[in-house]
Amino acid sequence: MEEASVAYIGLGSNMGDRHGYLYQALKKLDDNPGIDITSCSSIYETEPYGPVEQNEFLNMAIEVRTSLSPEELLKVCQTIEYSLGRKRDIHWGPRTIDLDILLYNRENIKMENLKVPHPELSKRLFVLTPLKEINAELTVPHMNKSIEQLYENLKSEEGVRLWRPNNGEGEFGLFEN
């Protein structure tokens, strides 16, 4: 891989085989020649966020090295979501898979279809918990706070439970071969 950027992606699923959708999404990301998964968090079961009544999520975060631009990475994520049956009918509604670019290098990106750092990052314990596991010292651009500091602001909230730890065994440390 030529000049690589570092990005963090949040993954979530709350429909059907949640675990299977996470695995398939990781596999598809890993199969992309422009993406190298360098770290995976454990998987957390989380209460749904927002006003829509729905099932609990499985959430995790990954760190990737990528030769893709932010726009190209977004397109890959959206293509994977679509291939795994993601429908965008209800805002904050249930989904087979959700892939969000949380951070991309130390860039502030404001485009119509992509905002990085993710605008809700500092408000979501289900994002900060797995990110903290991967890189607690990571500083979020424009906030000048680390993931650890943002996590400390929310850690008293409930609704995020360890579901499957990354034990370093099997594919991505989370799945049996």
pLDDT tens, position by position, 121-156: 888 899 999 999 999 999 998 888 999 999 998 888
86 tagged catalytic? yes
- What are the residues whose beta carbons fall under 8 Å from the beta carbon of 21, sequence distance 6 or more? 13, 15, 84, 96, 97
| pLDDT for 86 | 67
30 tagged catalytic? no
Active site residue: 18, 88, 98, 124, which one?
98
**Distances 6 to 71, 77, 101, 123, 155 between C-alpha atoms, Å:** 14, 15, 11, 22, 26
Active site residue: 95, 106, 124, 164, which one?
95
Q: pLDDT band at 50, cuts 50/70/90?
A: low
How confident is the model over 89-131, as pLDDT tens digits?
Answer: 655 567 789 999 999 998 887 888 888 788 888 888 999 999 9
65 tagged catalytic? no
Cα 21 to Cα 44: distance, rounded to the nearest angstrom:
14
**Is pLDDT at 177 greater than 50 in this prediction?**
no
| pLDDT for 93 | 60
Active site residue: 18, 86, 106, 164, which one?
86
* Cis upstream peptide for 117 (omega within 30°): yes
164 tagged catalytic? no
**Which of 58-62, 102-106, 119-123, 169-173 has the least mean pLDDT?**
169-173
Cα 55 to Cα 49: distance, rounded to the nearest angstrom:
10
| Third-level CATH fold of 5-164 | Alpha-Beta Plaits (3.30.70)
Domains of the chain, by residue range, sit at 5-164
